[in-house]
Structure 1
Amino acid sequence: MRPRWLVLVLIGLALLASLLANLAIGAVQIGWSDVLAALVRFDPDSYDHFVVVYQRLPRALIAIYTGALMAVGGTVLQGLTRNPLASPSTLGINAGAMLFVIVGAYTFDLGLTAQGIAALAGAVFGFASCLSVARLAGLSRDPRGLALILSGALVSMLFVGIANAFLLADPARRTDFLGWITGNINHVYADRLADFWWIGLLSFAILGAIARPLTLVMLGQEKASSAGVNITWVTRAALAAVTLGAGSAVAICGPIGFVGLVVPHIVRPFIGAGLGLALPAGAMTGAIFCLIGDLVARQAFTPYVLHTGVLMDLIGGIVFVAIVRRFYLTPGARGET
């Protein structure tokens, strides 16, 4: 077995272990055998089975969905922009989706399905806003792409500020979105997952279908052109898939940003730049991070439950500084990017 395929298998086993741990550990500890029994032979009269199937399993599925999409989004965005700090959270995608959901719900009283559509539209708008600001700031004269990241930070802060203004304007409804806006993996959002899961599946399918030409585009436009790749079409399809996938994740549980930033850096040394393996490896690793993050958020401050997005932001801030130090502040770092 090739080493990279072996790494992929090991990541898959780690994902399975993380899923079982997420289902077994909580306020009530449930044995692994009982967890498996709940999944295979559900007993409606068993309290443990009820907890596993109706509370912990929806949380785990949301964590897997969100982590996988954010990690894949970060992998593609970092490759296309050639910037190690690119991710759905740093390029305005998450903030745009969040803003449109809040504005739509407060202004037009949008229902669940309409909020999902608003999140997708907001993700596209957020990314477009980031690119527009970066171009105004002189992106073409910025070989390290700092203008793109700073533009994403500026756009995200603006959108978050507007969303908070709407929340403060109606305290009676604020509690409905206060948890969601901080990135809350919760079983109460199972209906959102049931409505929007197909968008993430479509996003994965598109990226999988164009994985080979997209890899060539990431390696250089001259190489892609010589291989007959339609660079414009492939790039736009990839960006559309990433934006819609990340937007659907935000629609379900709010913005969770750490995964898309750091997972590509963890996976790349073991899997390489080829997206044929990098996409599934990144998706599974992102799912693992979200499962573990959700578990820690539930258990670290018992009996209180911390929102997963808050925990991810705390860790992500540290990782963000480390990445900036390595790729931008270390002498000779330009050669590494």
Structure 2
Amino acid sequence: MTVHGLFAKISPDSDSPREKPRIAIIGRGFSGIMMAIALMKSVRTAFHVHLFDPQPTISGGQVMAAAQSGEILNSRVRDLSVAAGQPEDFNDWLCANQDFRSAVSAAIPGFQQIFVPKSIFSDYVYQRFSEALTRRPDISMQLSCQAVLGLRKLPSGRFLVLQEEGSIECDVAVLATGFGIRALEMEVADDERPLVRARRLVVPRHAVLLGSGVRVVDRLLQMRDNGYAGEISAPDLKAPVIQNLFAGGLAQPDELGLGLAVSPAGEVLSDSHPTANLYAIGPLGLGSLPDIDLVPEIVTQTYAAARLIATRRRVTQKSA
């Protein structure tokens, strides 16, 4: 048996993605893109990243990029840097953005205390992602627009990402699928919509309903009748990928049933022990880490996971 670092030095001739350690990131929302940024900044040797998401585009986060212009993030600029050790990075980016400076001139010389639209933050994240990739010519990246149906661990310790049209092997798998929950929305006729006395200046926060069945639907109707206009979601641990992990003994649900049990660094837990080289980043771990749906916590977690991925060892069978 020979022990190799997962990111042991690769010879200069090893340009093929097949000869580099392969990392699968399932989900190209903010958590997934942030994970890619953290890896590119933390792992010093060559690797291959495969980004999975049914959406055909890549941005600074699918939900944030598609947000309406009036949707505001609930964290201040001072808390939204995606650069480790550089808390003023987002503020500096805004200060260098002439269009934004013209639109929000009252905040000059700095924007640390203001709240910004999701779309602006998405532009910032995507630019930092693009810059990080440009600086790493040794990294190869691949996109897949097929839905991921499951994840299987092979006897070799690698993972098999299952899709409708084939499967892909990887050394590390990172789940970054958001809440792992479904949106609870109902079609309501215009004449049945509640009257709202005044339009909110701040977009309501995202609400997560715990439970299932009639009680959840009843609570949803009450919130809408009372004029709540924000997004409402409920846990859905029956998603194929999640169920596949449970069935394979690779993961366990958290105590609240919101998602997966994880460590602060995003390690997926099974029987209270980390599953080697399997991570769940962001809101999937909300039941274990109550604030992990907030941008600052996601950024911290991705860098912690990237450091683990960069330093962990794996045992490989010595070739004959």
Q: TM-score, normalised to structure 2's length?
A: 0.25
Q: TM-score, normalised to structure 1's length?
A: 0.25
Question: Which has a greater percent of helix?
Answer: 1
Question: Which has a greater percent of strand?
Answer: 2
* Larger RCO, structures 1/2 (Cα 8 Å, 6+ apart): 1
- Highest Rg: 1 or 2? 2
